[in-house]
A and B are shown apart, each in its own frame.
Chain A
Amino acid sequence: MTTATAPTGTTTPTRAARRRRSGLRRGQNATGWMFVAPMLVVLGLFLVVPVLMAAWVSLSDWSGRGSPLSSDVGFVGTENYTDLLVGGGLATKDFGTALRNNAYYVLLVVPLQTALSLFLASLVNRKLLRGRGLFRTAFYFPSVTSTVAITVLWLFLFSASGAVNSVLAWFGVNGPNWFNDPRGVLQLLLGWLGVDAAPSPLSGHGFLGITWWDWLAGPSVAMTAYILMAIFTTSGTFMLLFLAALQAISGDVEEAAIMDGTSPWQRFRYVTLPMLRPTVFTVVTLGLIGAWQVFDQIYTGTQGGPAKTTLTPAYLSYNSAFNNQQWGRGAAIAFLLFAIVIVFALVQRWLLRERAVPRRKRWNVVGAPPASATAAPGAPGALGPSGERSPSREGDTPHGPGTSGPTARGGAR
């Protein structure tokens, strides 16, 4: 995606390098294909073919018996999709509920984890901080553990008489029975304000099989526990991304801002934050993609309950196919989810687009030395989403005398 922005101003060294190497080009066709063949086979077999097969299944009435490609499987057109979107039956209702649950999850997790990880990164980025390593380790550790292990821990911490409620009791708060509490958080708040029942315009009409009043319920208390868990486990990873970006900002810039008499907040808001824009973009994109795919924790924990308030599209898709044998519907949900992820990524891209700042201008300030660009792929700040990070950086910094010229050009186009 981002690689499309690879620098193009390197044509001159390219040609020279090509001429120099043209003698070695013979035979590279066969070798090249031989080298990429294993990757092509596994990616093809387990990414491309599956998507095509599932596309067919989502348009069929396959029941899970025999091969989905056999002749007695019927083509039903878009029936599976219309069932979900406009059918009005239980399928629509479940899908609508799952969408609502996950939408609130995304709405809370993505901004909160982005803000928290940026906050943590700027705290541990202080040059004079003692014990930086310890703090970074503490904040990052939850990110290395598996979702399953964390969910098991979370079920215990958030049980009725668990650690969280014990702590809340210190402050005189009577904690809920988290994972068994289907009440919506927004409706709870409205209840405290005296709004107990749905106003009739909201309860009478709806969208995707559930009423507007139910859409406005907010995440259930159970879902809130998952939201806290997501923030807890991902903030460490994103903290590392922000940390890498913060360290690439040259000290001169900050010094200049200090000389201009800015307050720390002004420096953060008007100097640091604009320079972090590419990283914010990466973190929000990865956050969005991840937050729409809530599956492991639901499978391990509540399996959609209580009262379907932790049902997510990903889990619903799995459940329809593997437990209820409605394979067409399951596949259709998966594709709708795919579409949602893409739409969100695009909208987000548009919202965070560059405005009025010429691209090249940033080069001067970000100005990572070529040496750091060289070490970047090996530096596992690269952990996790590095595949996304490295290319985006590559596009933003002028780098690579010589070596990257020909390859970047040939590769990206």
Chain B
Amino acid sequence: MTQALPQPVADATAPSPSGPVSARRHPRRPGTVVVYVILTVIAVIYVYPFLIQVATSFKTNAEAATNTLSLVPQTWTTAAYERLFLRSDFPVWFRNSVIVTLVVTVGRVLIDSLAGYALARLRFRGRAIIFAGLVAVMAVPNVVLLIPKFLVIKQLGIYNSFAGLIIPLFADAAGVFIMKNFFESIPVSVEEAARIDGAGPLRVWWSIVLPMATPALVTIVILSFQGSWNELAHFIVASQDPQLVTLTKGVAQLASGQLSQGTEYPIKLAAAAIMTIPVAVLFFVFQRRIMNVSTGAVKE
């Protein structure tokens, strides 16, 4: 990544509002070079571990333990991947993670947008109380809920089932908040026109409001996908069925040695690398949305 660094020289002549003054006071080039050096060093520190991770997953066990820094395996081997996919439960974990993540994401999009729309637009009795409650539950830390969630899941009889893995993750106060804020920021006139034309509230929500809310819905999709794909604690307490293990739980148990002996780093790192791929793809697909923090100024 870092080889692509351009020469900083060209910047010296680029126009900028503060350019002329600061250029005279603090000669630009030495400072700029220092900034590039610092940035490059930090970027290497941030990226190199992931390169090591991928490289090591193709090394033999022996080489992984001795030759830890190199990015090129002396003997290439896909043994770790073969073992993961052909002789372990890894495919089952992967399937479970996919199912849970997709259902949770769809569910959150529907629930969050319905509730957010109602809180932003519809005037009904008790709305203020609901909103206050929403803010309150957002303050409850997740980890505090581990034991309590288990108790309720047991009580409801959905322990050791996909329902137990999925339904509790629908709870997403922050998402409702994001949707509510979004709806408050867009004009109400289009919906009113539709309502005057005789469309019912559900119809207005489905065919007018949801399409308009795409930017906010994308945010919800990113957050839910990432959140449920990376979730661990909930899956630990929601089931103990080996058939319902998700990637995070499976890989965590693999890492802590509950499933394999010794320090077989290639297989662990291969598993970790594969579970990173879907979120990495999501990240690169929506990269411009995620990184472009000033969407207000420049429309995409």
Report if A and B associate in a common complex: yes
Which residues from chain A sit less than 8 Å from chain B, CB to CB?
A: 1, 3, 21, 24-25, 27-33, 35-36, 38-40, 42-43, 45-51, 53-54, 57, 67-69, 120, 123-124, 126-131, 133-142, 144-153, 155-157, 159, 161-163, 166-167, 232, 236, 240, 243-244, 247-248, 251, 254-255, 258-259, 264, 289, 292-293, 295-296, 299-301, 303, 314, 317-318, 321-322, 327, 330-331, 334-335, 337-338, 341-342, 368-369, 371-388, 390-391, 394, 400, 402-404, 407-408, 410-413
In the complex, the number of residue pairs spanning A and B with C-beta atoms less than 8 Å apart equals 424
Known interface pairs A135-B43, A156-B265; A53-B148 also in contact (CB < 8 Å): yes
A40–B10 Cα distance when bound, in Å, is 57
Contacts of B84 in A (CB 8 A): none
Measured in the bound complex, the distance between the Cα atoms of B296 and A379 in whole Å is 8
Closest to A264 in B: B26
- CB of A372 within 8 A of CB of B296, answer yes
Asked if B102 is at the interface (CB within 8 A of a chain A CB), the reply is no
Kindly list chain B residues whose C-beta atoms are within 8 Å of the C-beta of A53.
Answer: 148, 151-152, 155
Chain B interface secondary structure, helix, strand, loop or mixed? helix
Separation of A152 and B254 alpha carbons in the complex (Å): 9
| Cβ contacts A to B, 11 pairs, < 8 Å | A1-B138, A43-B134, A53-B148, A134-B1, A137-B1, A152-B268, A337-B141, A375-B295, A387-B175, A390-B178, A391-B177
Smallest CB-CB separation from B35: which chain A residue?
A123
Docked Cα-Cα span, A244 to B290, in Å, equals 11
The answer to whether A377 touches B181 (Cβ under 8 A) is yes
A162 to B148, CA, bound (A): 39
CA distance A314 to B216 in the complex (A): 33
Q: Which residue of A lies closest to B174 (CB)?
A: A387
Cβ contacts under 8 Å, B291 to chain A: 133, 136-137, 140, 240
Are A157 and B215 in contact, with the CB atoms below 8 A? no
Contacts of A28 in B (CB 8 A): 122-124, 201
| Interchain nearest-CB distance for A238 vs B (Å) | 12
Chain B residues near A337: list those with CB within 8 A. Answer: 141, 143-144
What 0/1 readout, one digit per residue, does chain B (42-81) give for beta carbons within 8 Å of chain A?
Answer: 1100110110110010000000111011000000000000
Residues of chain B with a CB closer than 8 A to A148's CB:
230, 232, 247-248, 251-252, 255, 272, 275
Q: Complex Cα distance A46/B120, Å?
A: 24
A335 CB contact (under 8 Å) in B144, B174, B175, B275:
B144
CB-CB under 8 A from B148, the residues of chain A are 49-51, 53-54, 57, 331, 334
Contact with A along B260-300 (1 / 0, CB 8 A): 00010100110111011001101100110111111111000
**What count of chain B residues pass the 8 Å CB interface test?**
143
Q: Does B86 contact A (CB under 8 A)?
A: no
A168 to chain B, nearest CB (A): 11
User: Which residue of B141, B188, B279 is within 8 Å of A289 (Cβ)?
Assistant: B141
Interface string of B71-98 (1 = CB under 8 A from A): 0000000000000000000000000000
Q: Are A411 and B187 interface neighbours, CB within 8 A?
A: no
Determine the residue in chain B with the shortest Cβ distance to A412: B131
Q: Are A301 and B21 in contact (CB under 8 A)?
A: no
Check A127–B16 contact: CB distance below 8 A.
yes
Q: Are A373 and B121 within 8 A (Cβ)?
A: no
**B171, CB-defined interface residue at 8 Å:** yes
The verdict on B161 contacting chain A, using a C-beta distance below 8 Å, is no
Whether the pair B128, A411 counts as a contact (CB closer than 8 A) is yes
The answer on a CB contact under 8 Å between A373 and B122 is: no
Which chain A residue lies CB-closest to B229?
A146
Task: Output the nearest chain A residue to B43 by Cβ-Cβ distance.
Answer: A138
Nearest-neighbor residue (CB-CB) of A170 within chain B = B69
Q: Which one of B121, B139, B147, B151 contacts A407 once the chains associate, using CB atoms below 8 Å? A: B121
Complex Cα gap A259–B35 (Å)? 24
Query: Using a CB-CB cutoff of 8 Å, which residues 167-195 of chain B contact chain A?
Result: 167-168, 170-171, 173-182, 184-188, 192, 195
B131 cross-chain contacts in A, Cβ below 8 A: 411-412
**A163: chain B residues within 8 A (beta carbon):** 49, 52, 68-69
B residues bordering A, Cβ < 8 Å? 1-2, 4-6, 8, 10-11, 14, 16-19, 21-22, 26, 32, 35, 38-39, 42-43, 46-47, 49-50, 52-53, 56, 64-66, 68-69, 110-112, 114-115, 117-128, 130-131, 133-135, 137-152, 154-156, 167-168, 170-171, 173-182, 184-188, 192, 195, 201-202, 205, 214-216, 218-219, 222-223, 226, 229-230, 232-233, 236-237, 247-248, 251-252, 255-256, 263, 265, 268-269, 271-273, 275-276, 279-280, 282-283, 286-287, 289-297
> Using Cβ atoms and an 8 Å threshold, which residues of chain A touch B188?
403
Contact indicator B127/A317 (Cβ below 8 Å): no
Q: Which of A50, A135, A334, A407 contacts B39 (CB 8 A)?
A: A135
Interface of A is mostly: helix
Chain A residues with CB under 8 A of B68: 156-157, 159, 161-163, 166
Which 9 A-B residue pairs are closest in the complex by CB-CB distance?
A372-B296, A378-B215, A32-B124, A50-B148, A387-B174, A35-B118, A146-B230, A381-B293, A54-B148
Partner of B171, one of A42, A126, A331: A42
State the CA gap A289–B205 with chains docked (Å). 35
Of A21, A46, A123, A236, chain B has the most CB atoms within 10 Å of the CB of: A46
> Are B201 and A31 neighbours in the complex by a CB distance under 8 Å?
yes
Contact yes or no, A338 B255, CB < 8 A = no
Alpha-carbon gap, A393 to B71, bound state (A) = 44
Residues of A within 8 A of B32 (CB): 128
Bound CA–CA A134/B53 (angstroms): 20
CB distance from A119 to the nearest CB of B (A): 9
A136 to B1, CA, bound (A): 12
Find the A residue at minimum CB distance from B17: A251
Query: Which residues of the partner chain B approach A136 to less than 8 Å between Cβ atoms?
Result: 291
Q: Is the CB of A334 within 8 A of B16?
A: no
Question: Of B121, B141, B152, B292, which one neighbours A50 at CB under 8 angstroms?
Answer: B152
Determine how close the nearest CB of chain B comes to the CB of A64; give it in whole angstroms: 10
- Is A50 touching B149 in the complex (CB atoms < 8 A)? yes
Asked, given contacts A148-B272, A382-B219, A407-B121, whether A46 binds B279 with beta carbons under 8 Å apart, the answer is no
Known: A36-B130, A375-B295. A338 touches B248 (CB 8 A): no
